[in-house]
Structure 1
Amino acid sequence: MTAKVLTVQSVERHKPNPERRLEIPDATLPGFYLVVQPSGAKSWAVRYRINGQPRKYTIGAYPLFDLGAARARAREALQMVALGRDPFVEKKAAAAAARVAEKDRVAHVATIYVDRHLKPNAKPGYAETAAALITNHVLPCWGERRIGDIGRADVVALVDSLTDKGMTTGANRVFATTRAMFNFALARGMIPTTPFLGLKPPLAETSRDRVLTDAEVRLVWKAAEAVGFPFGPMVQLLLLTGQRRDEVGKMVWPELDGLVWTIPAVRTKNSLEHVVPLSPQARAILDAAPRIVGAGFVFTRSGTAPAADYSAGKKRLDSAMLTIANKEAAQQGRDPKAVSMPPWRLHDLRRTCSSGMARLKVTPHVIEAVLNHRSGTISGVAAVYNRYAYLDEKRAALEMWAQHIARLAE
């Protein structure tokens, strides 16, 4: 085909041949072609020879690249050929480098870490929390960077930014989760070392030792009655059983069987099934809970999900406690304005239950059995095979504790 100068109008006018692909040369720039497919799709290409071998370099589709842009790209490619460089090879190498760069990005490694490690190996709650920490705090800073380029100074800058925002234990959780992700990358050969070597979490943590007094236990019980279902009864069951917040909050009816509540291994912190004897007071709370048709969860509003708004529920509970305390202070002739409520957390109810049973002379190994601890006096092989060990002792301890709470609430 005799080359003619390609123009905007001629590019538009060229029609496809249903039988074969057309390549229309440009007289202005030899080697530059408009390619028209039988389908009608048009694109741009450059044909050249290098080291005696013919090559074709594809510029891109029309009209994504108009005539002017395509001709400029073609001229650059032919200039590279004149200098002994192969634009086809360099384009292929650049694409491969881009793919490698994508694999090396922190965001890509994070996806692999979540999908191949957290989801298969960690409990759903932990996996979800860890993924959220990475998504919310790590990826905005490092997501598009190569993981191998992250150094100790970057880690220090990240945790400093978190503590500057007021994060305390949360900053430690981000540090630990990110360190675990880098250790995962190290184990898989993605990085030669980890920038976390020798670094410690940003803040020292002290174990909480908050135990509610008997007067506070009484207020919690009465305030829970005032708050009502589902949060109030859930708090009462936390206090009566000493189990963890999510274990109680996400309780389902099939776990309950008369006098016992069996928490499956997938829902316990130590991944061991745990049998909890139910005191008469605990059974009364469960008997009074409304049964929503088709619902598996005990403490639920919708029937399809647990009532997990713990923060809002705790605020309502604290408010109810203060209201009750102020009213009683006025009745007793004390100044209601002088009443104060020291801060506490839902997990403190577990510690209060443990401490309360100890005050009632329950032996340490029974308390550990109630709390589903497998360290200290119950550990090793005995912990695995003693699924029903101390069942009677646990029942006696929890009923003694429940009676103590009942006396306080009178």
Structure 2
Amino acid sequence: MPQQVRGVVATGKGKPVTVETITIPDPGPGEAVVAVQACGVCHTDLHYREGGINDDFPFLLGHEAAGVVESVGEGVTDVAPGDFVILNWRAVDGTCRACRRGEPWYCFSTHNAAQKMTLESGQELSPALGIGAFAEKTLVHAGQCTKVNPAAKPEVAGLLGCGVMAGIGAAMNTGGVRRGDSVAVIGCGGVGDAAIAGAKLAGATTIIAVDVDPRKLEWAKEFGATHTVNARERDVVEAVQELTDGNGANVVVEAVGRPETFKQAFYARDLAGTVVLVGVPTPDMTIDLPLIDVFSRGGATKSSWYGDCLPSRDFPMLIDLHLQGRLPLEKFVTETISLDQVEEAFHKMERGEVLRSVVVL
């Protein structure tokens, strides 16, 4: 039988979100219904509310979530009712050209639930990133459920569903940070601090945090930054070179997504070093670089999609590292809130007051 639950909906561009009654259908083939226990408030949800993703309103927001599988549809074998899972928005299909060549983290044909959740009126909802987890329950494709150790608290486990995984993966998967490397991270919000945590996990010995907000630079130290640079007070490229024997960093992670910070990242790396763009630019942004500089500096310039992660591989491993005390996921949680407080959480995020507000259900 279909169920009715409460969920946070964006009804129109720029309008404050509202808590509405949502109808959740029974899971069909390949689908699962998940009782959401916690969901982080990610900047992507704000992009949806502002019409920055597309205009398929109304949106059921929320995607950075953990919970318990309640029921599954026909053909589902990887998860079962009672499993504690983290939701992911890149459920690989296993058959596309990326999957066939052994690179499933680039899957070009990811799965979402076939059925739609609706408002009481019957109007179909567009779930954020195919998840829609600012709700007591949600319907997803079963491949979007990654089973992990239930000893982890939902409010920290769910963060791996998006921002924290994006940052850790940008450093470890895309950037390939190795023991002894020097790393600079430009932009120390949730994704940037996760990149710092990932660099520390990988064994980097010099980790330079760059931001314009002294509060964020202090947060960065808690995740492993060995040095900080206030970009309002110092030339970023010169500061990074000074801290790396005049060479530049082996890996620079750009977690802002702006042309000026990308240029800083490009010139702050060592010769043959790697630049990783994980900050999300807007469609109108362009970059102008002398082609001779691209050639003569060598190395690699990469973008990082979801931290180039494979949820089935990375989520359980990172949860285990957290439970061992080696990955302080709890430090990302600034506050826990209710569904009714999501709109205010957006404003706190815009003001830079939080790393993550997390809805706990």
Task: Indicate the TM-score class for this superposition, using the shorter chain for normalisation.
Answer: under 0.3
Q: Pick the structure with greater CA Rg.
A: 1
Q: Structure 1 length normalisation: TM-score?
A: 0.24
Structure with bigger strand share is 2
Structure with bigger helix share is 1
* Larger RCO: 1 or 2 (CA < 8 Å, sep 6+): 2
